[in-house]
Chain A
C-alpha cells in the first residue's frame, strides 16, 4: 500500500487524463477541419495549389446566385423532411408489430436491423439496380401484377429520382428509428397501458392519446439523429444519381464535393458545406427543446 496520494486518488488529474484522448480526437478530427472549412469558405483556395487568398463573401455571393445551389438547398430540405416523416410513421408501426409476441420475433428483429449494418455505398449500389431504367425490379413487379402499364424512369426523372433518394434514406434510418421507438415503448410503464385498457380505450385511442405522447421525447431523439445522418450524407445521392439528371437532384454534400473536390474550387465547396450548419443547428435546437418540453416524469 502506498502511504502517499497517487494519481488514482487525485480525481481532478485523473479526470483530465481520461478525458484527454477523446478531447484530442474531437479537436483534431472535428474541430480543426470545421474551423478550416469556415476559413476556406472565405478564401479563393483551389485544390491544385497552396495559394490562400482572402476572398471575403465572394464565394457566398456566387453560390447564392447559383440556381443549382438553390435547388440543392431545396432538395436537402425535401429529402431530409420527406425521409424523416416516412421513417417516423414506419418505425412507429414496425415497433408496434415487433412488440407483439410471435414466432420468429427475434429473427424478424435481426433482419430489420440489417440495413443499418450494410455500408452505405454497397446499399446504394444495390438500390441503383432496384431503380435501374431497364432492370428495375419495382417496374417489372408492377408490370407483372398488372398495376402499371407505362414505365417509370426512376433515376432519369427529377421528381422520381428525388423520391428514390427519399426512399433509400428512409430505408437507411428506419431500423435505427425502430429500435429507438421499441425502447421507448418498453419504457412506458405497463400499468399505464393497462389502465388505458381498463378505462375502455381501444387500440387507436391508446396509441394516439397515451402511447404516442409518451413516446414524443424518444421519437424526437430518433428524428434528430435521422436528420443529421440524412442531411450530411454524401454516399446515397452520389452513387444513386450523382446529382443528375442535369444537376436536379444535388443535395448540399454532393454539390460541395462536386464543386470543392472534383471542380477543385475549395473555397466555393466549403461555402456550400458551411450552409449545412445553420440548417442543422436550427433542427438540433428545435428537437432538443421539443424533447425537453414533452419530457414527463412518468411517476
Chain B
C-alpha cells in the first residue's frame, strides 16, 4: 500500500511537451482517474509512473521510494493493465497469470495457489488451460487484471482497459472493476478519454489538456464546479452551455455557463424559485426515451440573434409540448449559473 507523489514532472519529446509540469498527490488506496483527450499527456504520465518512460525532469515518489531515476519497472511495486491487454499469445491463461510470479522466482507451489486464487476471484478458473485467442474480449480483460493482481502491487496502473470492450460489456466491466478495487483497496491510477468512465470510477478525477492538469477533484466537483471553460465543456454530455452574456448586471466579457439539465421551461419553476429567464428559439427536438434534447439559440431583446447552439435536456417527467421553430420561455436557477472570464476561460465570481 502506498500513495504516489508527483512533483513538477515533465516529459519532452523534442519540441513536444507531452507532460508539462504536473504535480499530483495520489492518496493511499485512492482510485484516481486521469481524464483527457488523445495527446493530453495522460498516458505518458502513466508510463512515467510505470517506469516505461523516463521523465525529462521532476520527481515521482511511490510510497517512500523515489523512483524517477534508475528504478526499473520491476522494482517499483506496480502492475499495469494495457489497453490491448498485452497477453502473451503463446502462453495459456495459467501461464500468463503465472508469468510475473515466475519472474519474481516464486516457488512453483505458491505460484499455483496464487494463480488459482486470482482466477477464482475473477471467475476465469475454467479458462486456465486456454490460450488468449480462444477468449472473448471481456475474458481477456479479466486475465490481464489477474496477471496484474498476483504480483501484490502497491499501485495499479490501468491504461484504458475498457476501451476495447463493446458498450454493453463496458458497463458490467466498470462495475466489476470498481467493486474489485474497493475490495483490495490498492492505489489505482486509471487512464481514460471517456468522461462517463471517469465519473463512474474515480474517487477523484484529474482533467488534463496539453500536458497540463486543468482540474483535480471529485467527480461532483469537476462536474458542478469546473475551474474553466475547457473542463466545463469536456466533462458532461451534452456539454455545459456557454453564453457570452450581454447582461448589464455582470462585468464586461463574462461568459455565463449552465448545464443542459438546468435549462428548463419557465413553467416548471415555482414563483419562489430564483431563476434567470431566457427566450429560447427552438430549432429541433430530439426524443431519446428518458430525455428530450432541445436544440436552439437564446434570443436577447434588442440584440442580433445569437448563433451559439444551446441545448436543454428535459427529463421525460416534463411532458410539456415544445414545438420546433417557435420561441419559448425557459429559465435556469441562479444557483446553477457559472461565470467565466471570456478572455482567460477561468472561473470568475458572479
Contact = CB atoms under 8 A, between A and B. Distances in A.
Contacts of A296: 89-90, 131, 133
Contacts of B72: 197
A297 B90 CA distance: 9
Contact of B100 (A199, A210, A214, A298): A199
A194 interface: yes
Interface in A210-268: 210, 213-214
Given A189-B84, A198-B74, A214 B90 contact: yes
A201 interface: yes
Interface in A268-299: 294, 296-299
A201 B103 CA distance: 5
B187 to A, nearest CB: 16
A186 interface: no
Nearest to B83: A191
Contact of B50 (A198, A201, A202, A299): A198
Contact of A197 (B73, B83, B104, B132): B73
A196 B79 CA distance: 11
B295 interface: no
Interface string B84-99: 1011111000000001
B50 A214 contact: no
A189 B133 contact: no
Contacts of A201: 74, 99, 103
A150 interface: no
Interface residues of B, number: 27
Contacts of A192: 86-89
A238 to B, nearest CB: 42
A195 B82 CA distance: 8
Given A199-B151, A200-B73, A205-B103, A214 B83 contact: no
B89 A298 contact: yes
Interface residues of A, number: 22
B92 to A, nearest CB: 12
A77 B80 CA distance: 48
Nearest to B50: A198
Given A189-B84, A296-B133, A297-B133, A200 B151 contact: yes
A194 B79 CA distance: 11
Contact of A195 (B78, B80, B90): B80
Interface in B43-68: 50-52
Contact of B103 (A199, A294, A298): A199
B89 A299 contact: yes
A167 B228 CA distance: 69
A212 to B, nearest CB: 10
A198 B89 contact: no
Interface in A136-170: none
A198 to B, nearest CB: 5
A199 B133 CA distance: 21
B147 interface: yes
Contacts of B147: 195, 199
Contacts of A200: 73-74, 100, 103-104, 151
B90 A294 contact: yes
A199 B99 contact: yes
Contacts of A191: 82-84, 86
Given A198-B79, A199-B103, A299 B52 contact: no
Nearest to A214: B90
Interface of A: 189, 191-192, 194-202, 205, 209-210, 213-214, 294, 296-299
5 contacts: A191-B83, A199-B100, A201-B74, A201-B103, A213-B90
